[in-house]
């Protein structure tokens, strides 16, 4: 049977895009090898960049064993000293070669099986930047109440300052065309990367597309690194970049 075409319906043709997954990593000795395996199992990444941010817990020995296996599409970059997640991401962005960059944390909070959903709006040409939202109805482990309040509050401030309607500014899953970051001057060294990147995307006039994702938040005793003190830094970052280029 021939495909039917209906008046007024836009038929989107998917683009074939190459993808780099950037994994910032600091003291994740128990998870990094499994996270890499999960990314590889999805079979989407053309390039995987692990940026070790000065780990001291044995992570580097795990990464050395991964390097010894000589994966053609896996590269490991090292910071001599811990500089922060933002600095690790900036290193990864500068080294990426693919059309699209996906940010992946080095723990089990975010599921690489979501990549196809995250990439779809870019492949169909309806977005340049896609965020995976933990607050759009996907399955999730119940997070700490005050973490949720901080996330929602920072997202609200983002929407007010930048005239947006995001539901999850602080999400790890940010997926975007490499050219978006190529021309962006980023200064963040720590967790203030999330508000800085979001602010600079929105100030370019780029509307961020959100898709629901699952979330399996880890506990503090499991190695969760973000602290309450990062919230006021994120708030100041949002305010600062609203008025400063």
pLDDT number for residue 141: 61
| pLDDT above 70: percentage of residues in the chain | 87
pLDDT in tens, 133-155: 999 986 666 667 767 788 899 99
Lowest mean pLDDT among 116-120, 151-155, 161-165, 169-173: 151-155
pLDDT in tens, 172-231: 999 999 999 988 999 998 889 999 999 999 999 999 999 999 998 655 455 455 665 778
Report d(CA 174, CA 129) in Å as an integer.
7
Confidence of residue 3 (pLDDT cuts 50, 70, 90): very low
From residue 23, alpha-carbon distances to 2, 87, 153, 229 in Å are 44, 12, 27, 23
Domains detected in the chain: 19-243 (3.90.550.10)
Mean pLDDT of 110-127: 97
User: Token match 């370019």: residue?
Assistant: 204
pLDDT number for residue 8: 47
pLDDT number for residue 12: 61
Q: What is the dihedral of CA 75, 91, 202, 238, to 10 degrees?
A: 130
Lowest mean pLDDT among 39-53, 114-128, 227-241: 227-241
pLDDT number for residue 226: 62
Q: Which of these, 66, 53, 58, lies nearest to 30 by C-alpha position? A: 58
Asked whether the predicted pLDDT for residue 17 surpasses 60, the reply is yes
Mean residue pLDDT of the chain comes to 89
Query: 218 and 107 in contact (C-beta within 8 Å)?
Result: yes
Report d(CA 218, CA 104) in Å as an integer.
15
8-state DSSP, 22: E
């Amino acid at each position: 049977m021939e495909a039917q075409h209906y008046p007024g319906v836009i038929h989107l043709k998917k683009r074939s895009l190459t993808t780099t997954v950037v994994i910032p990593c600091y003291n994740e000795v128990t998870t990094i090898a499994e996270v890499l395996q999960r990314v590889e199992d999805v079979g989407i990444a053309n390039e995987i960049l692990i940026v070790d941010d000065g780990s001291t817990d044995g992570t580097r020995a795990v990464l050395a064993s991964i390097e010894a296996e000589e994966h053609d599409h896996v590269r490991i970059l090292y910071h001599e000293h811990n500089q922060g997640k933002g600095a690790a991401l900036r290193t990864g962005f500068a080294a990426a070669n693919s059309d699209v960059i996906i940010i992946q944390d080095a723990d089990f909070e975010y599921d690489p099986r979501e990549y196809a959903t995250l990439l779809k709006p870019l492949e169909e040409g309806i977005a340049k930047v896609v965020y995976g939202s933990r607050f759009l109805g996907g399955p999730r482990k119940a997070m700490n109440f005050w973490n949720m309040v901080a996330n929602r509050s920072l997202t609200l401030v983002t929407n007010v300052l930048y005239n947006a309607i995001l539901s999850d500014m602080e999400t790890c899953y940010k997926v975007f065309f490499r050219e978006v970051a190529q021309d962006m001057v980023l200064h963040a060294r720590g967790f203030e990367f999330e508000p800085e990147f979001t602010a600079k995307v929105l100030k370019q006039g780029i509307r961020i597309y959100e898709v629901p994702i699952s979330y399996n938040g880890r506990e503090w005793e499991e190695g969760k690194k973000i602290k309450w003190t990062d919230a006021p830094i994120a708030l100041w970052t949002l305010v600062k970049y609203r008025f400063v280029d």
